[in-house]
Structures are given as C-alpha cells and as structure tokens.
Amino acid sequence: MPYVTAYEGEALAYQLVVEPSAEATEGIRLSYVDAVETDRLYGALWYRQGITKTGRPLWKLINTPRQRRCMMRLLCQVCGRSTVDDDGRIWWLMPEPPGTTGGGMPFTHVPPCCRACIPVARAMCPRLRHKALVYTARDAEPFGVVADLYRPAAGLKAVLLQHAVEVPLDAFRRLDFALATQLLVSLDDLQRTEA
C-alpha cells in the first residue's frame, strides 16, 4: 500500500466552530471545539486524521498527516523514504504538468516519489501508467494548501462553502476559514526527465 494512502480506521471525530482570534484578519477564524496548537500550521487549521494505518485502505484517499510529512521532509509517497538522489535532486512522478504560482513558479499537491518507486507507482495507478511525467527539482518549499473553505454563520457555526480549493499561504483571509487537507509545494529548478 502506498505510504500516503488513507485507511478507514484513521478517521477521527471532530467538530468545527468559529472562534474569536486576535491573529485572524477579521478577528474570527475556523477552529475545532477542542483545538490544540498542533491543529494549526502555516496559518491554516488542518484536517484531523490518525496515522495508525488500521482498517480498510481507502485507495482513492490521501492521508493528510502523511501527505504533509512527505512534502515537508521530501519523502516518497510510495515507500516513505527519502526522494533525494546522490546529486541532491528530488524526484517526482506527476499525472499532469504542475500548476504555476502567481510568481511564475511551478507547484504541485503530489508528494515526491523516489527513483526506485517510480515504476511501482506507474504500475499501481492507472492514471499514471501511460502519461505520467517524471521530473526532478532542486528544492521544494511550502506554497499553499488544498483546503475546504468555510464561512461563519449564526451561533459561531461554520458552513462549508467550497470543497478542495487551492489556497496560497499568503492568502491570510481565506486561510482563516480553510480546513487544509494537503500541502502544496513550489518547485525550484524543475526539469523533465526520464525514469
């Protein structure tokens, strides 16, 4: 099973709420009823999910903590080990070309993939089999999040507005009402290559 795949047993119960906050652009932000400091990173609230790998694997779903760990530590989405080769290049297998940030940098939600796992990843995923693109990059930096966006409603309630939206980390106002599910990274010196 790929490292980033989510499992049924990793679902956690949670309750969203709107809370006053001096750090928020408009003085209020999305939170959990029982929020702790580790629920927040890069200005966003993060989707709570376990890392037990118990229960049935959910093939199409990505585990949020493991996806974020892969991005921050440049770990392989298949085996969970380092994706940096001897030349210091980070390897990627992407189903489509990366997006472009406002500043003109390529960015992606896809975690890196070590060189050894590229054939494995191709074989496992029908989407990747034929048209997957192999890239290397010199560096990857947090750029944004994929998030569900909420809006405040009466009684400090949070109402879902949009599902799976890309939000840059400098969009502070939108981040205040984002529930992040994946980390986006911008890619420095990205180059197409062959596996």
- Residues at the site binding Zn ion, with contacts judged by CB under 5 A: 76, 78-79, 114, 117
Closest separation in Å from C-beta 62 to Zn ion: 16
Closest separation in Å from C-beta 192 to Zn ion: 20
Q: State which amino acid sits at residue 152.
A: P
Q: Alpha-carbon distance 118 to 75, whole Å?
A: 13
Closest separation in Å from C-beta 116 to Zn ion: 6
Cβ proximity to Zn ion: between 112 and 144 the closer is: 112
Cβ proximity to Zn ion: between 43 and 80 the closer is: 80
Cβ proximity to Zn ion: between 79 and 84 the closer is: 79
184 token code pair: 């986006």
Q: Alpha-carbon distance 148 to 162, whole Å?
A: 6
Closest separation in Å from C-beta 79 to Zn ion: 3
Cβ proximity to Zn ion: between 116 and 156 the closer is: 116
Q: Alpha-carbon distance 35 to 144, whole Å?
A: 22
Closest separation in Å from C-beta 101 to Zn ion: 26
Alpha carbons within 13 A on the beta-carbon side of 174: 17
Kindly report the number of other CB atoms within 10 A of residue 189's CB atom: 11
Cβ proximity to Zn ion: between 34 and 86 the closer is: 86
DSSP codes of every residue in 79-142 = T-SB-B-TTSPEEEEESS--EE-TTS-EEESSPP--GGGHHHHHHH-HHHHTT-EEEEESEEEE
